Structure 1
Amino acid sequence: MKIIDLALPLNERTPVFPGTPKPKFEQLASIEKDGWNEQKFTITTQIGTHIDAPFHMLASGKKLHEIPLENLCGEAVVIDARGETSESKKSIPPNLAQVKPGDIVLFCTGANAKAQIGTQTARELIKKKIKLFGIDSPSPDSSPYEIHHLFFQNNIPIVENLTNLEKLIDKRFFCCILPLKLENSDGAPCRAIGVLQ
């Protein structure tokens, strides 16, 4: 068994979406002074590798704690979408033949912040009944966030800022997305892994 870490590290250098406050880390106690180490992390729900629940953009959408764990773990595939950018004004035209109902589908863009998926691709993934969508860029779209809304209206969470997806292209594997267990939240940072047998 081989486990691939798909999450970015959380630290003061973790990239944030424009307008989002940067993370802050503070040492509250130290072994030298107090006999133990304790730190305070000030972060948003939209930092680093994180999951967006439908409530992120839909007032009536499911909140993070309402997403079943079964929807966060399962068989997964990575779609190679490297080389495509939003500037090309084209939808990413991936081969979606490998996608099965109930899959977790992750898009490898090469961490290209300009890469976006098209509405036709999103609709095809919805038609195939995927249970979670992920991408290694900050967002699969930009304002007015049509892709977010399409997925959320179909109860499909979105994971952003994944990493190491190139190691899983052309492989079928087990994926697990484990966000912090926050109640009534629009999302949370998460640990994501891919497991190869």
Structure 2
Amino acid sequence: MIYDLSHALSNETPVFPGDAQPEFTQIATVEKNGYRETRFNFHSHLGTHIDAPAHMLKNGKALDDLHVSYFQGKALIIKVDPNQQFIEPDLLLPFEKDLVNSAFVLFKTGWSKFWGDKKYFETFPTLSAAALQFLLQFDLRGVGFDTISADPVESTTYSNHYGIFNKGLIIIENLIFPEDLEATRGEFSCFPLPYKKADGSPVRAVLKV
């Protein structure tokens, strides 16, 4: 079974506070031009997307510095209580053996149910400093969240972003987990657009279980 973990993109797609709304403009129609074509105008961190280390680190790797195989691998899905402010180490400890054999860790908080609502940007669970330190012991490629950010929206230090980027990992944000998805493991893919010096990219994130 293959699950789509990606939000659909449109002119109404929620963006991080302060970012410009995307523009999807139909510039040709079958009736008028004999073909249909759409112009895109949006930032590199729209919708379900990857943050590269280059997003915040001057000498961090861009997405196009990474081999295409980097964006696919075994994933561990960890369910998080949406009412807790922080993801703590006690949630991660039972998965220690699974983390050893995983390329990606995806946190399923259920927060995507607020997609399109102002609550989506408020009080969503994030990793505590201790949980982040525990997680970064493992040989991962990326960490994913079904929230707008790895850090609280009001953060000015972006400690989780920097911690993950300094280990050379990518961050996947704005995932969406289907309600019927019960699996805790699978083969995850999140291939970015192949543009040069890519600090981030929308992706079609999928999970095969």
| TM-score clears 0.5 | yes
* Deviation of the 1:115 alpha carbon: 1.6
Aligned counterparts of 2:183 and 2:11: Cα–Cα separation in 1:
34
Aligned counterparts of 1:166 and 1:158: Cα–Cα separation in 2:
23
Q: Is the 8 A contact 2:48 2:175 kept in 1?
A: yes
* Deviation of the 1:168 alpha carbon: 4.4
* Deviation of the 1:100 alpha carbon: 2.0
Provide the aligned length of Structure 1 versus Structure 2.
192
Q: Is the 8 A contact 2:78 2:184 kept in 1?
A: no
Aligned counterparts of 1:105 and 1:55: Cα–Cα separation in 2:
20
Q: Secondary structure at the residue paired with 1:76?
A: strand
Output aligned runs, 1:34-73, within 5 Å.
34-73=33-72
| 1:147-180 deviation line (CA, Å, top 9, x unaligned) | 1001101110000000016654552210101111
C-alpha spacing 1:167/1:181, structure 2 compared with 1 (3 Å) = farther
| 1:25-73 deviation line (CA, Å, top 9, x unaligned) | 1111111111000110111001100000000010110011012222210
The residue that corresponds to 1:151 in the other structure is 164
Deviates more, 1:64-73 or 1:18-27: 64-73
Aligned counterparts of 2:199 and 2:133: Cα–Cα separation in 1:
23
Aligned counterparts of 1:171 and 1:146: Cα–Cα separation in 2:
27
What letter is aligned with 2:14? Answer: P
Q: Is the 8 A contact 2:80 2:87 kept in 1?
A: no
Question: Gaps spanning 5+ residues in structure 1: where?
Answer: none
Tell me which protein shows more helix as a share of its residues: 2
Output aligned runs, 1:96-107, within 5 Å.
96-97=95-96, 98-107=98-107
Q: 1:138 aligns with which of 130, 140, 148?
A: 148
* Overall identity of the aligned pairs, in %: 33
Question: Gaps spanning 5+ residues in structure 2: where?
Answer: 112-119
Aligned counterparts of 1:148 and 1:165: Cα–Cα separation in 2:
26
After superposing on structure 2, the runs of 4+ consecutive aligned residues of structure 1 that deviate more than 4 Å are 165-170
C-alpha spacing 1:124/1:100, structure 2 compared with 1 (3 Å) = same
| Superposition CA RMSD, Å | 1.7
C-alpha spacing 1:170/1:31, structure 2 compared with 1 (3 Å) = closer
**TM-score, structure 1 normalization:** 0.90
**TM-score, structure 2 normalization:** 0.86
What letter is aligned with 1:171? Answer: T
The residue that corresponds to 2:109 in the other structure is 109
* Deviation of the 1:120 alpha carbon: 1.4
